[in-house]
């Protein structure tokens, strides 16, 4: 694994935010549409996507066609109640997340966080998103879908990451947990490592967890 830089997904890869997002989407769909969202549906229609894309998926499930207007209204409700839900459910860093970040710093391998979340949301709640632990106060190490002008599974976020890191995409390791993220990294031309979730065959490397990934990097990079 010959790499010069690393791009790390945030939600579901470094921090376990999915229980929070599931509760948030479930609450909005129940309150607004009386619909009971299942975990299976959340994983299928929301995981790895922007909230708007997830809500557009749900309008198609409910009505047979995508309704951007209704999806935008649902997105507005998500933003309205998100602060309340976030007070009840806080994410934790996955085991190995800080070990991975520390390893990259020790080896002076530059890295960025690449997320489908909005920059304003993360910058308004940096402690909740574990920014101090991961990047300190350096928000230049964060790339959002807004910065890239497109969201995963579009490769634009990882193409932008390679540009900012000053490397060719094929010299960059992408660490992801979803099919959409893996596809984005793959289409960008990066080396892709998948953690936490089952392989879909597109990634170059598959690891059960971040600690396993760190062990592999140590053995590969010496």
Q: What is the pLDDT of residues 169-203, one digit of tens each?
A: 999 999 999 999 999 999 999 999 999 999 989 99
Whole-Å CA distances, 140 to 14, 66, 74, 199: 18, 35, 30, 31
- pLDDT, position 216: 95
pLDDT average, residue stretch 160-172: 98
Q: Where residue 2 falls among pLDDT bands split at 50, 70, 90?
A: confident
Task: Read off φ and ψ for residue 36, nearest 5 degrees.
Answer: -90, 105
* pLDDT tens digits, one per residue of 26-74: 999 999 999 999 999 999 999 989 999 999 999 999 999 999 999 999 9
In the chain the domains, ranked by start, together with CATH numbers, are 5-17+92-221 (3.40.50.1000), 18-88 (1.10.150)
157: left (phi over 0), alpha (psi -120 to 50) or beta: alpha
What's the predicted TM-score (pTM) here? 0.91
176 forms beta bridges with 194
Count of all residues that appear for the chain in the document: 222
């Amino acid at each position: 694994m010959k790499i010069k830089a690393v791009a790390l997904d945030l939600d579901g890869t470094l921090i376990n935010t999915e229980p929070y997002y599931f509760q948030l989407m479930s609450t909005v769909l129940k309150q607004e549409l009386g619909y009971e969202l299942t975990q299976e549906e959340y994983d299928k229609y929301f995981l790895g996507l922007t909230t708007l894309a997830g809500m557009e998926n749900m309008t198609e499930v409910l009505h047979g066609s995508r309704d951007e207007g209704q999806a935008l209204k649902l997105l507005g409700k998500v933003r309205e109640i998100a602060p309340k839900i976030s007070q009840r459910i806080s994410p934790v860093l996955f085991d190995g997340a800080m070990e991975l970040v520390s390893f990259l710093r020790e080896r002076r391998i530059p890295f960025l966080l690449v997320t489908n979340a909005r920059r304003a949301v993360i910058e308004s709640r940096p402690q909740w998103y574990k920014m101090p632990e991961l990047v300190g106060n350096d928000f230049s190490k964060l790339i959002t879908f807004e910065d890239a002008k497109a969201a995963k599974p579009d490769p634009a976020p990882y193409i932008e990451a390679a540009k900012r890191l000053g490397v060719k995409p094929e010299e960059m390791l992408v660490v992801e947990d979803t099919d959409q993220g893996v596809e984005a990294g793959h289409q960008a031309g990066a080396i892709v490592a998948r953690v936490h979730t089952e392989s879909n065959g597109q990634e170059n490397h598959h690891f059960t967890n971040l600690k396993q990934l760190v062990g592999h990097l140590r053995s590969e990079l010496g």
